[in-house]
Structure 1
């Protein structure tokens, strides 16, 4: 075989490999864009997410057309504008890769750590597509593709407008909407008229608990809580008068977390009388915008109980309904424990219920650029030495085995902004024991 024939065969082999690599990159990008678009058009939680899905399908068609044009452009070049179609496809792949990497970086899932990158879902794929598109543009540039375009300025303008629309759409859905339509949920608690039990040894005290979605977006209810406690206090007239020496001790009580400084009343503590969740609003339920639910729960208190006042409160924790969807066994199988909760949730030995489930993102586009996230809610019984003497709710959204991040204020703010994770508290409602004891 002559040297000329060897060079010819080598050239043919190189050309064939180049064509195959071009086809492989375009077909991979076509599959990615088609999967995102076909999933988001019917399944995205927002209109802008569905619109993004439509743009992804159009981009997939453009890349698919470029894949068809490869064989002609790299072969006999019989079809007019096959080079322009191929260039449009390569630029679409480049813009797609840049956008997907940018979404992951903005979401905080692609983050540098000492010595390596913590890589979330598909990062290497986006990086490979970006590198492939740079290589493909180099191949087309060496073939003087720019001079073969029928209208280079119009082509560049079209690419710029498309990229601008994609950027504006993403900024609108991910930045503007969460601030324009914030989550607004309220919880309320109110004592009703007490009734003496038939045996006249106890009193039934009704507690009316109300939860209302005052915002413009639906929410997923992660958990509800109500509690009624009895205050153990004694009243001694003039005990805190001018001659009293207990003022410093009472001020120290404020430093210990007590909410009141009472001159003539000594509060020894609180006893939990009743607590629970709402039956009409179970964990995992969806509360539509403007919807309201009210439930009356009865708490039985002994007539001879040593309480001088009754205290009640309620809480509800929600997740924004247009930012994520809960799936799995979250509302079905909570686990009851007294150890293993993060330090920011409860101290060791405090009993709690734990609800835990994976969530899906608002769109498939976000799902393929972020790590799998899990929503976790703790229904904590409370502890006098811990975060609260009464039951309370604690929740976070985090990657697997990263629930400890929930105690970091910056992370809590980030989760609240991204997923609308919000806990609404009714505040404390107090009533004297006399007011809650019916006349004989």
Structure 2
């Protein structure tokens, strides 16, 4: 019979795992007496070896009956740790990926990339959890789990804070609220183990672990606060009437009209609604000069010898069209014709050019749906129909809008941008949670919410107006 080296079974650690050494060299670890027998069998020890014989086995910190491991508890901790870290990793990827692909600014893309990086770190932490609550073959596994739990707690706390501002239901709520409680539990569990004691330079490791969180915070503040505020928005609008043309065959005069717009600002914009309207105005005169009091009913203009009598819409239409956009420095012009009777009684004509636009660094519009007009008077337009006698007639443009910072999207309900246009009324724009396709009976748009969302998504209005005397314009006309 061959002589085998002396077997030493060390005391159980905090998890119940006992190291096994032979001749002073560690050969494995066991959770139970059965695992110990398997290790010895693999090393060639006889199956009938007397485990209670001190000459063969030396038991430290307990005997052959001392196996405090509770496998169900250990496996439950592993399952909860791995599940929480993986779910948190997926949440980080869902937050970061849209910003990496679609964010307008470099800073927002960096923030998205950082969220993906943090998600990847949590994926590594999920693998480390298998080792740390297993046989602990890697000294850094506990510290990696600590980083993963800290990342989850920081991100989920931020999401809960943002959600509490408006308390709207979102499917992500079912993820980040339970994850917040999970992260508190996971952090308590791993801190109690003090994993930093197993690394040579814990202070350097802590500084390295804090760097991603600091970069994320700086990038988030820059992309959501400083950059959108610092980048200017300016529109240059012009409109001018050309030389009228007469047609001997028809009792009309044709007045060319040139419209022009340029995005002079530093940020691209979406055109939500636009409109040009040409008015013809007739005026009443008074030689006494006693009509200055009209300012009480007309706060825009007041004259001593003249008073506006009637103002008619002569021509109206879209200029560029809802759902289009202008990049920074891009310009667009349009030429059209205004037709008037030769014997027109208008004293003057004017043109008003209006642009409702939204900053592209604040949000993204689903233009494929928004740019398609719906007719409010058509019963075939599901959700958008309204009886003309009650609502009038409008073209309705509506579509989903998403914030360029995806943290806002995951903590808010859906938002929609809607524009109404008709040739005889001022164009209107709404940005709110109101969905025309799913509206309920009696549901109305929340005015306070609408104004708040307009500010959040960077809605602005550009307006230009010019007016000229019709007599002077017609005196320049050519043709017979």
Q: Same fold (TM over 0.5)?
A: yes
Check whether the contact 2:224–2:405 (CA below 8 A) recurs between aligned residues: no
Establish whether residue 436 from structure 1 lines up as the match of residue 470 from structure 2.
no
Distance 1:98 1:318 in 2: 34
- Distance, in Å, in 2 between the alignment partners of 1:75 and 1:416 is 53
Aligned: 1:35 with 2:94:
yes
TM score, norm. by length of structure 1? 0.82
Report the equivalent of 1:394: 428
Using structure 2 for the length normalisation, give the TM-score: 0.76
Shift of 1:181: 0.7
Contact 1:231–1:310 under 8 Å retained in 2? yes
2:403–2:457 contact (8 Å) kept in structure 1? no
How far did 1:59 drift?
A: 1.1
| Residues 39-61 of structure 1: per-residue CA shift (max 9 Å, x gap) | 43333332122212221222122
Residue 273 of structure 1: aligned partner: 314
Q: What is the match of residue 259 of structure 1?
A: 300
Contact 1:324 1:361 in 2 (8 A): yes
Matching of residues 220-259 of structure 1 within 5 Å: 220-236=270-286, 238-240=287-289, 247=291, 251=293, 253-259=294-300
What CA distance in whole angstroms lies between the structure 1 residues aligned with 2:391 and 2:344?
A: 27
* C-alpha separation in 1, matches of 2:268 and 2:182: 42
Q: Which residue matches 1:187?
A: 237
Distance in 2, Cα, partners of 1:396 & 1:178: 21
> How far, CA to CA, are the matches of 2:325 and 2:455 in structure 1?
19
Larger mean Cα displacement after TM superposition, 23-32 or 331-340: 331-340
What residue is the counterpart of 1:136 in the other structure?
A: 186
- The counterpart of 2:335, out of the listed 285, 291, 296, is 296
Structure 2 equivalent of residue 420 of structure 1: 458
Are the aligned partners of 2:139 and 2:199 in contact in 1 as well (CA < 8 Å)? no
Structure 1, residues 290-326: CA drift from partner, whole Å, max 9, x if none?
Answer: 1111112111111222211112111111121222222
For the 8 Å contact 2:273–2:428, the answer to whether it is kept is no
SS in 2 for 1:63: helix
Q: What displacement does 1:179 show?
A: 1.1
CA contact (8 A) 1:184 1:213 kept: yes
* Structure 1 residues 13 and 411, CA gap change in structure 2 (3 angstroms): same
Q: Which aligned runs of 4 or more in structure 1 are off by greater than 6 angstroms? A: 7-10, 338-341
Give CA deviations for 1:229-272 in whole Å, capped at 9, x if unaligned: 11122334x2325xxxxx5xx52x32333522222223222111
CA distance in 2, matches of 1:287, 1:103: 31
Higher relative CO (CA 8 A, sep ≥ 6), structure 1 or 2? 1
Deviates more, 1:268-277 or 1:11-20: 11-20
Pair 1:121–1:421, CA change in 2 (3 A): farther
Contact 1:317 / 1:395 at 8 angstroms: preserved in 2?
Answer: yes
Relative distance call for 1:46 and 1:121 in structure 2 (3 A) is: farther
User: CA 1:92–1:140 in 2, change beyond 3 Å: closer, same or farther?
Assistant: same
2: distance between equivalents of 1:365 and 1:196? 60
Task: Name the residue aligned to 1:287.
Answer: 326
CA contact (8 A) 2:169 2:412 kept: no
Paired position in structure 2 for 1:82: 141
Unaligned residue ranges in structure 1 (runs of 5+): 1-6, 112-117, 242-246, 342-346, 383-390
Q: CA 1:322–1:35 in 2, change beyond 3 Å: closer, same or farther?
A: same
Structure 1 pair 210–183 and aligned structure 2 pair: CA distance change class (3 A): same
In terms of Rg, which structure is larger?
2
Deviation at 1:149, TM superposition (A): 4.2
- How far the C-alpha of 1:416 sits from its partner, in A, is 4.2
Within a 5 Å distance, the mapping from 1:93-172 to structure 2 comes to 93-105=152-164, 108=165, 110-111=166-167, 118-172=168-222
Write the distance in 2 (CA, Å) between the matches of 1:159 and 1:398.
40
- Matches of 2:369 and 2:171, distance apart in 1: 23
Q: Is the contact between residue 229 and residue 310 of structure 1 (CA under 8 Å) also seen in structure 2?
A: yes
Alpha-carbon distance in 1 for matches of 2:472, 2:250: 17
